Chain A
Amino acid sequence: GAVVSQHPSWVICKSGTSVKIECRSLDFQATTMFWYRQFPKQSLMLMATSNEGSKATYEQGVEKDKFLINHASLTLSTLTVTSAHPEDSSFYICSAGSGGNYEQYFGPGTRLTVT
C-alpha cells in the first residue's frame, strides 16, 4: 500500500516552454502533497506544500508564478514549470501524506532537462 506515482519519469523541453508533472496517490487519499527539488549530489529541498482544494504554500525563495501547483483532487497534484530555463533542469520529487499520518510516501521522481 501507499504507492505514489509520477508522470513523466523523464522529460526534455525547450527553453521558454512549459512542462507539467503529475503526482498521483494510487491507493490512498492524499490530503497533503509536497513537491521537492533535488540537484545532483544534493539533498531534497522542499518547494511547496499543497492541501487538496487549497492554494499551495511555497517555501521562501520559490517563485509561485513559475512553479504552479494544483491539488484539485485527493489523488492528484500537478507541478507546472512555466517558461522553463536551463537552470530549472533538476530532479523533481513529490510525496503525499494522509490526514493526521505523519508519514510521507514518495514518488519515483521526474528528471527535467531544459535545452
Chain B
Amino acid sequence: AQTVTQSQPEMSVQEAETVTLSCTYDTSESNYYLFWYKQPPSRQMILVIRQEAYKQQNATENRFSVNFQKAAKSFSLKISDSQLGDTAMYFCAFRGASKLTFGTGTRLQVTL
C-alpha cells in the first residue's frame, strides 16, 4: 500500500516570502502521479500542481513549483511571493494504478 507523509502539521510565512512544504511517499509502483491540493476554509479541494513520475523536469505553475526527487521519494512544494490568499490546508497526494492517497496535510498561515 502507498503511504504519503507530510511531516509539518503547521507552517507560517510572511507575505511576499517563500515557503517550502515537505512530502515523502512510499510505493513500489514505477508509474504514478503526484499532486498538491489546496483546501481553503471553504473546503473546496483545489489542484495546485501535478507531477508525472516519468518526467524528470520539476513542474511549475506560476508561483508554485515542486522539487521532485524520485529516488528519494520526495515531492516538496515551494510557494514563492506568498499571498494572504495562500492561507489554507495543503495536501500532498499520490495516484498510482488505483486510488488517490492523501497525506495528513500542512496548515499554512500567511501573515502580514
Among A42, A104, A106, which residue has its beta carbon within 8 angstroms of that of B44?
A: A106
The 8 A CB mask of A20-53 against B (1 = contact, 0 = none) is 0000000000000010001000111010010000
Residues of chain A with a CB closer than 8 A to B105's CB:
42-43
- Interface residue count on the A side (C-beta < 8 Å): 16
- Interface residue count on the B side (C-beta < 8 Å): 17
B99 touches A106 (CB 8 A): no
Residues of chain A with a CB closer than 8 A to B100's CB:
34, 46, 95, 104
Of B42, B44, B50, B91, most A-chain CB atoms within 10 Å: B44
Cβ of B95 within 8 Å of any chain A Cβ, yes or no, is yes
A44 touches B44 (CB 8 A): no
Residues of chain B with a CB closer than 8 A to A43's CB:
91, 102-105
- Bound-state CA distance A115–B13 (Å) is 39
Number of cross-chain contacts by CB at 8 Å: 36
A108 touches B102 (CB 8 A): no
Shortest Cβ distance from B32 into chain A, in angstroms? Answer: 9
- Bound-state CA distance A43–B101 (Å) is 10
Residues of chain A with a CB closer than 8 A to B91's CB:
43-44
Residues of chain A with a CB closer than 8 A to B50's CB:
103
The 8 A CB mask of B77-107 against A (1 = contact, 0 = none) is 0000000000000010001001111111100
The 8 A CB mask of B24-53 against A (1 = contact, 0 = none) is 000000000100000000111101001000
B4, closest chain A residue (CB): A43
B interface vs A, CB < 8 Å?
33, 42-45, 47, 50, 91, 95, 98-105
CB pairs A–B below 8 angstroms (20 shown): A34-B99, A34-B100, A38-B43, A43-B91, A43-B103, A44-B91, A44-B102, A46-B99, A46-B101, A49-B98, A91-B43, A95-B45, A95-B100, A102-B95, A103-B47, A103-B50, A108-B43, A108-B44, A109-B43, A109-B44
